[in-house]
Amino acid sequence: MDLNYEQLEQEILDVLGSNKYWVLATSADNRVTARSMSIVNDGLNIYFQTETLLDKYKQILINPNIAMCFHNVQIEGKAESKGQVASRENEKIRKIYCVHHKKSYERWQGLEEQVFIKVQPVKITM
């Protein structure tokens, strides 16, 4: 069976575009946690906003390997902090985020501890 990677990528982009709430799992020190997250994507790269004081952020610093899921789509990836939400470097992601999660952004954007996390997928299964 021949796989059409462009078609598969488009299918994944369609799923990312159709649902902006995914479950994110992180782990560190033999502790795994999961929670629903508001996400956006820029191509296959996934972004979410979080606070540096929360467990998920601390776990990502220790172990950048994460997993995400929505229905029958599972994504394993590498997560990294992209810095403060309000920084100039995050302007493109901030604009995308505000289109989909404006209330969330407005509620938390003034806090210095708010950062964007970028997830670069390394494995996607459907």
Buried b (16+ CB within 10 A) or exposed e, 52-82: eeeebbebbeeebebbbebeebebbbebeee
Instruction: Please give the radius of gyration of the chain, using alpha carbons only, rounded to the nearest integer.
Output: 15
Output the domain CATH number for residue 96.
Answer: 2.30.110.10
Select the more confidently predicted residue: 63 or 1. 63
The model's confidence at residue 124, banded by pLDDT at 50, 70 and 90, is very high
* Total-model pTM: 0.90
Identify the domain containing residue 95 by its residue range: 5-125
Q: Report d(CA 80, CA 92) in Å as an integer.
A: 17
Q: Give per-residue pLDDT as tens, 2-58.
A: 778 899 899 999 999 888 899 999 999 999 999 999 999 999 999 999 999 999 999
CB atoms within 10 A of CB 94: 19
The model's confidence at residue 109, banded by pLDDT at 50, 70 and 90, is low
* pLDDT over 70, % of the chain: 94
The predicted pLDDT at position 118 comes to 98
